[in-house]
Amino acid sequence: MVREFIEGWDLIQVLGEGMFGEVKLLVNKENGEACAMKEIDLDSHPEAEEVVKKEICVHKLLKHKNIVQCYGSRLEGRRQFIFLEYCLGGELFDRIEPDSGMPEHVAQRYFNSLICGIEYLHKKGVSHRDIKPENLLLDDHDTLKISDFGMATVFRHQGVERLLGRRCGTLPYIAPELLVRNEYNAEPADIWSCGMVLVAMLTGELPWDKPTPDQKEYMNWKDQRLELNPWKKIDHLPLSLLRKVLMPHPSRRYKLEQIQNHVWSKKKFKDADSSFSRSLSGTGAGLKKRLCSDLDHPAVEPCVAARQCQSQPLPTGQGEGSSSSTSPPSEVFHGFTQPAQLDNLLLSTQGGATQGSQNSFQRLVKRMTRFWVNTDKETTEKELRKRFEKQGYSCKMTTPGILTVQCIDRRGMQLVFKATLIEMDKQVLLDFRLSRGDGIEFKRRFTNIKSSMEMIIVKGPIMWSLAIHSDALPGV
């Protein structure tokens, strides 16, 4: 892979992939500020040109604590770059355990934040149209932020609202009216998708492949067969809210104000108030551990990463997107000061990526889909390939150290993920990242792979130096 870099910035890691390009992590060499860069090759994807222009236009208008901030964009030849707020906490789906979800109080906090962000969008006349856990990110303070505005559109301008006609989104999360009507209202469609995110958070599964009459599971929901899965996993109060949010008829569906006033949305949980560090208690790792360790590694000096991962200044006041309601302590608005040297983000083709630093390494996005092994890199790759072959997955290595894996999920949809082997001080870190497909299905496959490799997974602390360079990270 050809190495390129941004002048004055280290290109550290590929954070994710979309339909038209990749999102990469940049870290400023001088002050450690972090920025996410979305890159689209318009020669490879000429159909993306108008879509990306619209995305940039819409995203630049938005400033809210629950929406990923767009710092700006740059066109270099036929390569379009969009510079975005970096969310160190990773994707929401990473916090959802397959078939079990997450603790109810955590789901409530994320859901309320999502509704707060959607309320702001709708007041701006913007519909997201692809709300799902893969498009919801978490910053270093565990604040939920809506991302990826590639399908967003303006449905209201100067008080005049229009119906939408384009069918877009992800089938399990899409509202039923999109599949049966030529035109639909924007707001109820986004609200339905929020309800589906809540189901995923509370149960760790999706109730149907798509909300159509040929789906038995969907018809069971319409008939209110609540004794079946996943509904029987959900307590009475959140289920009562979901019955109003997932109303098949959009005109009868709860509006945002009704959702915010529902008794479950306002419920105070003892677990939620006891300690901020317990907010991820159902995920197998407390938030304090995740913020105070580098790659969840026990050998790192406590709280070094937490101190160095804050690219934004502490708040001095509320911004434009502030809600009138009181926010939980974990959702304090942290402002939108963009990286100080954003104007210096000029592409250079005169050399390879420069070496990174301890701070750059500690900026790696937090994921729960990674683990250390006690085998060398070559042996680890062989062990991985054996397991992929046994599961019937196809895999190839087009970039040294990165295996691209393809398979079919339980719904018959394509699932693509990448396994990166990172060697540091004779130890190997296996990092798995979703490329395409459903996040919960990806987590389910990752769990199976991890279980099958239990014999070589490192259980205790490993002592290793923090003097890591970006050259140790494949594919950047």
CA distance 180 to 185: 13
- The pair of structure tokens assigned to 267 is 């419920």
Q: Dihedral of CA 234/236/237/239: which sign? A: positive
Q: Which of 130, 142, 148, 438 is catalytic?
A: 130
CA distance 294 to 423: 15
Residue 89 DSSP symbol: T
CA distance 49 to 30: 34
Residue 13 CB partners (closer than 8 Å, separation 6+): 24, 25, 364, 365, 473, 476
Residue-wise DSSP of 10-28? EEEEEEEE-SSEEEEEEEE
223 is catalytic: no
- Element at 35 (helix H, strand E): strand 34-41
CA distance 182 to 163: 9
CA distance 310 to 339: 12
Residue 382 CB partners (closer than 8 Å, separation 6+): none
Hey, what amino acid is at 261?
N
Helices of type H across 140-226: 177-180, 186-203, 216-222
Contact 119, 141 (CB under 8 A): no
The residues annotated with a catalytic role in the active site are 130
